Structure 1
């Protein structure tokens, strides 16, 4: 794969995603397919969905157009990810039960695992179900991370870019190209999602992103030693893992269901400390960049996987507990401009 192919794919992904986001956003407004204000949501007007479909198109179309179906495992990931995107779109239109969502995600993940994508955690038959479980959990962790303007789009752009570099280092150019177009598609979407957002990605986008990142991360460490596997799974998902840990701990302490929306994410707590929406999104992206860069250094052989895992796990545990000391405001006070935050059911 030459440099021209990479450049063309990246540019095409960004332009296609940006153009599709604008047009699909207009259609969503026309059809009334919007996220309406209310409850803990801070946006003051209906915001159209379908941005996630644009991200999917910008991610999938360029690699297929330039390379076709040349890699069985990446093809399985693409097909399953598109199915998960459609699941999210249906969920955006008419909310599904958590059990239905998890069942479809598990079937999609099973297809990827059967194609040969298995994280070599134990070296036994247990690796298949463990990989399936990990894909489903991480997919939903990224879904939870879509709770503020620009947050998930920024994290995805950075994470996918570093993971693409890791893929090229590991000799997986097709996976690298898919991740590269995901990074560029996220940038194209961010043109309309950076605060104040004009379009939301919805579950169609967040589930697609989580599924692609979790599956490609598992693909890149398939057949490698245990320490490399652990670092290869933790580092690309660092921000989503920490955020999910914060939410789990917070809602367990409060006795609230995990899937019920609220302002108890890392992003909300950062805003409650006085940071603006844009700065919060930038900080989350910076954290993803540090973790992604650490993962790339492991692939290059500059840092041992064990040291990288310890370097990430320690701060992760601290970051999961520390935000519990920052109380999230239940809602914006009257007379004060609200922070631009959104979250449907999470």
Structure 2
């Protein structure tokens, strides 16, 4: 217990310190991303700090014998490292969706293989991990959003893993939550650092893989319901963006300011308010998944998050985002009409 607390505190403080250092490096080397409507640039090396610190603390614990790492956990860490690496390359120079998906698919296959599932279930698990990992990359669109949702989800899955006797996996998730908390010190609005593809892919992959591993022993309906409940916020965001862009006749994969966080901003919430709302929503899904995992609730409980997600998508689809462009002077333009706004909305273009 004492070592776990010390390791988590170390991960939090080390990530905060390394993120600050990498911010200086990023500004000098050009690892920045332009935000629509603003001249300022925000470095995107925060994910490297999260991945490095998480891996380092786990390695130190294993090498000293204080926190041994089994083959399954080691496979997860190596696979997550490969995903983080392709993300870092993508941050430096866009690699393309095919390369990212190929690496994530191979990494997910390695993780799922350790669970010894049936062929069909394994295929579905791999597809689900690839889906959630890819969605998380595009979900990192507003200050503090992915970090907040990631912390809540990691802690919830850590409790599930601990309840199932998966102490090593629980420790990995706890360290990830601590590292993301340290990163949030720099990502809370106004953000001074972003996760980038490296961090968003790493976070999404670890969370998605852990969600699969903690549900291996459960029946198909309970497992599927738990998987959806624990990730229903990012799933709802993906559904919202896909439907919205199809209705607008826009390419589904083209970046744009039309994610949940952007729409909440247009409804009047502040960036911090949007992060808190999505964090609370994620917490409700995590609690539902925990109760299902423990057997307190049946598979039908997943209908709760599903209903909330569907209602949110239906309501937020009515918030106008397509055809609206924010300029650096805070002017909102739609076609030939121009309306003066008090401030530009901060987006990352994902």
TM-score over 0.5 for the pair:
yes
**Does residue 328 of the first structure (1) align with residue 329 of the second (2)?**
no
Corresponding residue of 1:29? 27
2:144–2:272 Cα contact (<8 Å) kept: yes
1:17-74: CA deviations, max 9, x gaps?
Answer: 111111111111111211124xxx2443121121000111232222232235522222
CA drift of 1:140 comes to 0.6
Corresponding residue of 1:212? 206
1:224 to 214, 218, 223: 218
**Does residue 82 of the first structure (1) align with residue 81 of the second (2)?**
yes
Measure, in 1, the Cα distance between the counterparts of 2:203 and 2:325. Answer: 29
2:134 to 130, 134, 140: 140
Structure 1: tracts of 5 or more residues without a match: 119-123
Corresponding residue of 1:296? 290
TM-score (normalizing by structure 2):
0.91
Q: Describe the SS at the equivalent of 2:317.
A: helix
1:193–1:200 Cα contact (<8 Å) kept: yes
Corresponding residue of 1:244? 238
CA drift of 1:189 comes to 0.3
Measure, in 2, the Cα distance between the counterparts of 1:240 and 1:30. Answer: 33
1:196–1:340 Cα contact (<8 Å) kept: no
Corresponding residue of 2:335? none
CA drift of 1:265 comes to 0.6
**Does residue 314 of the first structure (1) align with residue 307 of the second (2)?**
yes
The CA RMSD over aligned residues, in Å, is 1.6
Measure, in 2, the Cα distance between the counterparts of 1:161 and 1:106. Answer: 25
2:288–2:302 Cα contact (<8 Å) kept: no
Deviates further, 84-93 or 318-327: 318-327
1:117–1:219 Cα contact (<8 Å) kept: no
Corresponding residue of 2:72? 73
**Does residue 56 of the first structure (1) align with residue 62 of the second (2)?**
no
1:43–1:341 Cα contact (<8 Å) kept: no
Deviates further, 77-86 or 219-228: 219-228
Aligned pairs for 1:98-137 (under 5 A) are: 98-116=97-115, 118=117, 124-137=118-131
Corresponding residue of 1:340? 346
Measure, in 2, the Cα distance between the counterparts of 1:231 and 1:172. Answer: 20
1:68-115: CA deviations, max 9, x gaps?
Answer: 552222211111111101101100111112112111111111111222
| Structure number with bigger Rg | 2
TM-score (normalizing by structure 1):
0.92
2:227–2:289 Cα contact (<8 Å) kept: no
Q: Describe the SS at the equivalent of 1:16.
A: helix
Deviates further, 106-115 or 188-197: 106-115
2:189–2:271 Cα contact (<8 Å) kept: yes
Measure, in 1, the Cα distance between the counterparts of 2:11 and 2:26. Answer: 21
1:60–1:181 Cα contact (<8 Å) kept: no
1:186 to 180, 204, 207: 180
